[in-house]
Structure 1
């Protein structure tokens, strides 16, 4: 990163047409990680795995937390897919989180230079937290607030979240890019990760066909290594263990040329999630701080 904050975003970000294959990790922040922890993890994502981005997941409502995220990302030379988290309990706290994030993005001079996009919710349509028209309106309003900062807006959502709302065309039109959830473990026809490619491409092809040519990232994307209440398969054949988690990422990595071939410069995928300390079973790192399996995915091919 430069020694001082640039005056403009012109020419700052890589063209999204160059972004495909592995791009980074989802990173769960309910623990409200310390500034030093964020700096250590983000630097590791950049240096060890060559990640371009960290995709926020969950929420930390500590004052100044996103400023800590910005500083850690700045020091690591990594971008952030920020998130306004609705949670699972209803209520209006998302409005406070939205306003807090906008304030941080507006007041921190480094924020626009690490915040690649703001996600207005994670599976907001699947969870029915807002109706389609209201969600599209919120996205449009947020875009207007962030336009002077050059920060685009999206939502992070399952194909089914759109499909259950007849395609949710107002939302699809409103968002600037597509952050898609690909979680084949939960499919009705799931079995093993190694056999999940038809499930993966089924959802990808829906986004490609209905996404108006917009850039697509697989933002919440993985296969759990253990099953527990809330992370249970919908198929008796689906297997949650470390071997299947490993096989899933090996499968994605082996399909680099497929991801590269898709519209808008191809599809980039995140690994969900960085560590089992953040969300049990999904981490690349175990609770012991060690890699659960070798992980060196391609960032280009």
Structure 2
């Protein structure tokens, strides 16, 4: 799913344009109520016990954004339309083996009512979901049916609001020119109104460059409309890339652009990783960029080493997802190989 035209070039340009700059000080949109990710009195904190049925309201249900820092969980592609049994097994693995608190959906499954299975698996595993309306790469209007189907399930399933942390429009609709930016603003605002009673925030899963290439024709309006930032961080594709251990300036280049332009909004690294191999659609823009399992591992180790920094980033800290759960979902990016074996030891911190 990453193999789209000029993806590597765009990310390379992004890192050049997003020159690291001093971090601005922003005031979080609300004061944190829960200080530690491990507190067991809010969902999806580590140690939280799921009730037997959904409570009457989402009030005081979710942990505060300030606890969503460091490692959060995995991007998880659903294009294979995994069975409910598989979803339960793998979501539980994310929770119990890796202390994951969320899955960030990627791709699409157009089976009728499929998101009901995602909800049921998330409730079973005690894990939150960043849901996704997938645009794809063809510039068509299939996203409209996916939007309506997802909104319908969110309203009809009594557990939906209690496992759905956010609704994303994506992936990279601005960079792909999948929709006019001002039309995307309308979609974001309409979705927020539609889900206001459920208190599900709305965002767009996008690269810094996606906003930058539309800076004068609606990109900044999209940035202003969303409730928080879902940033794509893929430093391997930068023209400055070499090894993962040297990628921190590239990461902070895009991060600082968001800090300087997003008015203190919460930031997540949603599509975020380093490939262990190249393919026809995954090619570097730097002759020095190295793709192998060691560098995939080193990239996640680098992020883990920045836990204390991520905790203090204005807006409520930075939480990051690992892209992606399995090689069966996205070859070259999985933490598990195609046989279900870990490619490297993976135990990043969920708090510090």
Common fold, TM-score beyond 0.5?
yes
In the alignment, which residue of structure 1 is the partner of 2:332?
281
For the residue of structure 2 that corresponds to 1:100, the secondary structure is: helix
SS in 2 for 1:218: strand
* Residues 74-95 of structure 1 deviation map (CA, whole Å, 9 limit, x = unaligned): 0111000000001112211100
Counterpart residue number, 1:207: 258
In structure 2, the partner of 1:253 is 304
Task: Report the 3-state secondary structure (helix = DSSP H, G, I; strand = E; otherwise coil) of the residue aligned with 2:263.
Answer: coil
Q: Secondary structure at the match of 2:200?
A: coil
Where has structure 1 moved over 3 Å in runs of 4 or more? none
Q: Does 1:262 align with 2:284?
A: no
Secondary structure, in 3 states, of the residue corresponding to 1:48?
helix
Q: Secondary structure at the match of 2:227?
A: coil
Query: Which residue does the alignment assign to 2:68?
Result: 19
Say yes or no: does 1:83 pair with 2:122.
no
Please say if 1:233 is aligned against 2:290: no
1:173, distance to aligned residue in structure 2 (A): 1.3
- For 1:278 and 1:270, the matched residues in 2 are separated by 15
Q: Which of 87, 97, 105 is the matching residue for 2:154?
A: 105
| Cα deviation, residue 132, structure 1 | 1.5
How many angstroms does 1:264 deviate by?
Answer: 2.0
Query: In structure 1, how many angstroms separate the alpha carbons of the residues matched to 2:221 and 2:99?
Result: 35
2:145 to 68, 85, 96: 96
Distance 1:269 1:244 in 2: 17
Residue 74 of structure 1, aligned match among 106, 118, 123: 123
1:81-160, aligned counterparts within 5 Å? 81-160=130-209
TM value normalised by structure 1 = 0.99
Task: Give the alignment's TM-score, normalised by structure 2.
Answer: 0.84
Unpaired stretches in structure 2, ≥5 consecutive residues? 1-49
**Displacement of 1:265 after TM fit?**
2.1
CA displacement at 1:120 relative to structure 2: 1.2
Offset at 1:242? 0.3
Q: How many angstroms does 1:208 deviate by? A: 1.0
Q: For each residue in 1:268-287, what CA deviation from the matched residue of structure 2 results, as whole angstroms up to 9, or x when unmatched?
A: 00000000000001000000
* Structure 1: segments with no counterpart, 5+ residues: none
Report the alpha carbon displacement of residue 257 of structure 1 after superposing the two structures with TM. Answer: 1.1
Report the equivalent of 2:30. none
Three-state SS of the structure 1 residue aligned to 2:98 is coil
Q: How far apart, in 1, do the equivalents of 2:313 and 2:182 lie?
A: 29
More relative contact order, 1 or 2 (CA 8 Å, 6+ apart)? 2
Which of 191, 212, 236 is residue 163 of structure 1 equivalent to?
A: 212
CA RMSD after TM alignment: 0.8
Q: How many residue pairs are counted as aligned between the two chains?
A: 301
